[in-house]
């Protein structure tokens, strides 16, 4: 018998679900960063057999999602039957993608983001922010085997593309340890410059964040633009109605889209919320459980919206008591035990360790939920 890689703190709380909100990285991707084939197959299966909708929400941009999630999903033979059940939310809900009946990927911006100054480059704000870092469009791309002068160095971006910087001629930008991400459309991201093997250096990002804030303040846009400092980058994010974009905002958008567009409001919004489960592996994913809705639909809700979550990160990723997100851990209804396994490879005569987190756990959870008929269609 296979040992279970997850625990269920309270069986009584497991409901029937018609919609899953997915984080992407490390939740449905394997250790090598690729979409887990097993999870992808099961997602398509519950979409087809049980009529379950799926919303994928990530901070990654639309181009990345298309190449790393949509295209691999399209390889599955039943994809054409389920494409209408899947929606992809890039840049945390700012850019939405969908596959149409001819198999083409169509993309549009969220209505609140469409006209946002950071996206439209109002008063040249995007250009001004872009000038504070190294800009790939102003540098020549590095090709493998290229011979460099002693005055030249190669800086790599997050996708592994190198750019040649002329130390003697190039002007050093204000935020010099960063490079502009050219694929972001709603956000603006300063990626930490990487070495050829993709490594980033660890340094205090506060002075740079302060410089960016100063520029935003000078432009009088502090109420519309906010910063988020993460390990690999500084994200410059739109604020909508005074709130910073995040997974709560994105979850609200996904639920609203499902209720309004896909279900044609034939089911109460409360029922859509109750019939949705989320899945993630990081602290930020706990925000899925408290979706934010625009004031215009708040009247539709009789109770404060709250989602269940399957948490497949390690215990270290969870907030400690006293942390502002600690309260949200009560929404975890299925949790990875974190008890990994040893795999014995007889041909190699070796034993390797496999962490019981991420997609490996999700694959097992989906089997369990399917077995106990935890899925159902809204209509």
Distances (CA, A) of 72 to 45, 66, 123, 159, 274: 15, 9, 39, 18, 30
d(CA 18, CA 378) in angstroms, rounded, equals 6
Nearer to Mg ion, 70 or 312 (CB): 312
Q: Burial level of 310, CB count in 10 A (0-12/13-18/19+)?
A: buried
CB of 355 to Mg ion, least distance (A): 14
* Beta carbon of residue 58, minimum distance to Mg ion (angstroms, whole number): 8
Whichever of 27 and 94 has its CB closer to Mg ion, that residue is 27
Exposure string of 181-219, with b = 16+ CB inside 10 Å and e = fewer, is: bbebbbbbbbbbbbeeeeebeeeebeebbeebeebbeeb
Minimum Å gap between C-beta 334 and Mg ion is: 16
Between 57 and 274, CB nearer to Mg ion: 57
Which CB contacts under 8 angstroms, 24+ apart, belong to 196-201? 196/154, 196/156, 196/162, 198/156, 198/160, 200/231, 200/232, 201/177
Secondary element (H or E) of residue 112: helix 111-114
Query: How near is the Cβ of 335 to Mg ion at its closest, in Å?
Result: 15
Q: How far is the CB of 36 from Mg ion (least distance, A)?
A: 13
Q: Which CB sits closer to Mg ion, 155 or 311?
A: 311
* Min separation Cβ 28 and Mg ion, Å: 9
Q: Which residues bind Mg ion (CB under 5 A)?
A: 23, 25-26, 281-282
Q: Which is nearer to Mg ion, 286 or 290 (CB)?
A: 286
Output 165 or 332, the one with its CB closest to Mg ion: 332
- The residue number with the shortest CB distance to Mg ion is 25
């Amino acid at each position: 018998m296979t040992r279970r890689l997850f625990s269920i703190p309270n069986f009584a709380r497991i409901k029937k679900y018609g919609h899953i909100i997915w984080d992407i990285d490390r939740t449905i991707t394997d250790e090598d960063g690729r979409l887990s084939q097993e999870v992808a197959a099961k997602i398509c299966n519950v979409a087809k057999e049980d009529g379950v909708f799926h919303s994928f929400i990530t901070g990654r941009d639309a181009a990345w999602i298309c190449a790393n999630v949509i295209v691999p999903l399209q390889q599955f033979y039943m994809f054409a039957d389920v494409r209408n059940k899947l929606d992809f939310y890039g840049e945390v809900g700012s850019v939405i993608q969908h596959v149409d009946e001819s198999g083409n990927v169509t993309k549009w911006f969220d209505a609140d983001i469409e006209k946002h100054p950071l996206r439209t480059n109002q008063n040249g704000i995007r250009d001004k922010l872009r000038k504070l870092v190294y800009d790939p469009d102003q540098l020549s791309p590095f090709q493998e085997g290229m011979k460099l002068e002693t005055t030249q160095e190669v800086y790599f971006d997050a996708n592994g593309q190198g750019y040649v910087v002329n130390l003697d001629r190039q002007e050093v930008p204000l935020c010099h340890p960063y490079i502009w991400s050219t694929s972001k459309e709603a956000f603006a991201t300063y990626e930490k410059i990487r070495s050829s093997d993709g490594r980033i250096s660890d340094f205090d990002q506060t002075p740079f964040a302060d410089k960016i804030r100063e520029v935003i303040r000078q432009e009088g846009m502090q109420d519309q633009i906010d910063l988020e400092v993460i390990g690999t980058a500084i994200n410059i994010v739109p604020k909508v109605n005074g709130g910073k974009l995040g997974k709560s905002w994105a979850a609200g958008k996904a639920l609203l889209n499902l209720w309004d567009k896909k279900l044609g409001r034939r089911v109460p919004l409360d029922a859509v919320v109750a019939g949705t489960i989320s899945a993630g592996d990081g602290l930020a994913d706990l925000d899925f459980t408290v979706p934010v809705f625009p004031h215009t639909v708040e009247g539709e809700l009789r109770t404060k919206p709250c989602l269940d979550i399957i948490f497949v990160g390690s215990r270290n990723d969870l907030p400690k008591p006293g942390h502002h997100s600690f309260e949200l851990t009560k929404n975890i209804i299925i949790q990875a035990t974190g008890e990994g396994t040893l795999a014995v490879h007889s041909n190699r005569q070796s034993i390797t360790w496999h962490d019981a987190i991420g997609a490996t756990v999700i694959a097992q959870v989906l089997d369990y939920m399917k077995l106990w008929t935890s899925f159902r269609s809204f209509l």
